Amino acid sequence: MTFIGLVAHNVWFKKLRSLFTAIAVAIGVMTVVTLGIVTQSLKTTAAAVLKTGSADFTVAQRGASDILYSSMTRDQLLRIQRTPGVASVVGVLLDTEKLNEQNPLFIEIGITPQDLAPFGVRVLAGRPFDASASDEVMLGWHIAQDLGVRPGDTVRVAGGIKRVTGLFTTGNVFGDSAGMFPLVSFQAYERQPGGWSLAFVKVNKGASIRAVTARVEHDNPVLTTIRTAAQFGRADQNYKLITAADTGATIVAVIIGAVIVMNTMLLSLVERTREIGILRSIGWTRRRVISMVLGEALIISLLGAAIGIGLAIALIAVLASLPSLVGILQPSYPTASFLRALATAAAVGFLGALYPAVRAGLLKPIVAIRRE
């Protein structure tokens, strides 16, 4: 029998115990994969609003509990506009509301008509709203299609009945599922007269974006600049909490899984002490014995990873179908998620089997053979 065959035989010989251990590993892997995919989905959804505007970077209040609670003043917008290298600044006021079960996270954007083009908005049908109107709205073509409305129709949104003046596109799926309102009336509805949430900034051609962002942050210590989803945590503490929870859950899952694997391998070691002594007496080296124990743990862990990935996919499908998460949780399954599952399983197997493997390798053949 080959070495690999022997390792596989040992796992199969105690198949019920191996299966239960693999299930324990699978629960840890399921937790890690599910949290990772859900966390990434929520991050993508939360940061999507930053991709709505056609800008080089976004400016927000530093350390806000939620990006929707970011607050900026006219003086801050003017100061950003005067920053060397800045070509244009578009200030917007943001909010979200639930339209219906299919659209639980409808993004509402307050903006002036003259800022629509710099913001990257292209009118597809109808016209832009009037700057002073209180009962007009423009809808992204995607949400208009979902609602079955056209220019001239009315929708109940932002606290009242609004007439749809036009349909637009931003070239961004989240932007095309949003609604845009006259800034002044939207500020009044939100009870934030003279207030903005975010500023979308374009720089002059040839200007260094990094230099301009550094200057903006230097001149405005209470503001922060955001260019990528990874920088979103600067303006949204919830983002940091989600990331920390994901990391913490991974560490806990690895520790618990490793403890379970260690207990299993130690029990196996006690039962097979005589067998290991015989192997050592016929010439097996310590390294070979250690490799055998680690190999058995690795097979169990990889089996657990396969089961865990299947359970994670099923659980995510259930979560995505929940009414409270429809439209918010939009899971994707990147290769990195599955590599993370394998890495977690490998870490669980290695850490859990390391002590039992070393202990098996250090057994003295004569003492081990005498043991009943």
Q: What is the 3-state secondary structure (H, E, C) of the chain?
A: CCHHHHHHHHHHHCHHHHHHHHHHHHHHHHHHHHHHHHHHHHHHHHHHHHHCCCCCEEEEECCCCCHHHCCECHHHHHHHHCCCCEEEEEEEEEEEECCECCECCEEEEEECHHHCCCCCCEEEEECCCCCCCCCEEEEEHHHHHHHCCCCCCEEEECCEEEEEEEEEECCCCCHHHCEEEEHHHHHHHCCCCCCECEEEEEECCCCCHHHHHHHHHHHCCCEEEECCHHHHHHCCHHHHHHHHHHHHHHHHHHHHHHHHHHHHHHHHHHHCHHHHHHHHHCCCCHHHHHHHHHHHHHHHHHHHHHHHHHHHHHHHHHHHCCCCCCCCCCCCCCHHHHHHHHHHHHHHHHHHHHHHHHHHHCCCHHHHHHCC
- Please indicate, yes or no, whether residues 105 and 188 belong to a single structural domain of this protein: yes
- Please indicate, yes or no, whether residues 263 and 346 belong to a single structural domain of this protein: yes
Residue 233 domain flag: no
How many domains does the chain divide into?
A: 2
- Please indicate, yes or no, whether residues 41 and 167 belong to a single structural domain of this protein: no
Residue 343 domain flag: yes
Q: Using the 3D structure, point to which of 186, 203, 226 is the last residue of a domain.
A: 226
Residue 51 domain flag: no
- Please indicate, yes or no, whether residues 161 and 269 belong to a single structural domain of this protein: no
Residue 127 domain flag: yes
Q: Using the 3D structure, point to which of 202, 226, 250 is the last residue of a domain.
A: 226
Residue 164 domain flag: yes
- Please indicate, yes or no, whether residues 212 and 348 belong to a single structural domain of this protein: no
Residue 166 domain flag: yes
- Please indicate, yes or no, whether residues 41 and 105 belong to a single structural domain of this protein: no
Q: Using the 3D structure, point to which of 191, 226, 261 is the last residue of a domain.
A: 226
- Please indicate, yes or no, whether residues 210 and 268 belong to a single structural domain of this protein: no
pLDDT (tens place) for every residue of the chain, 372 residues total: 687 887 887 788 778 888 888 898 898 889 888 888 887 776 676 666 666 667 889 898 887 777 778 889 999 999 999 999 999 999 999 888 888 877 777 889 999 999 999 888 999 999 999 999 999 999 999 999 989 999 999 999 988 999 999 999 988 777 888 999 999 999 999 988 888 999 999 999 989 999 999 999 999 999 999 887 667 666 666 667 777 777 888 888 888 888 888 888 888 888 888 888 888 888 888 899 899 989 999 999 999 999 999 999 999 888 888 766 666 677 778 888 888 888 888 898 898 889 988 988 888 888 777 765
Structural domain for 294, as ranges: 3-45+240-370
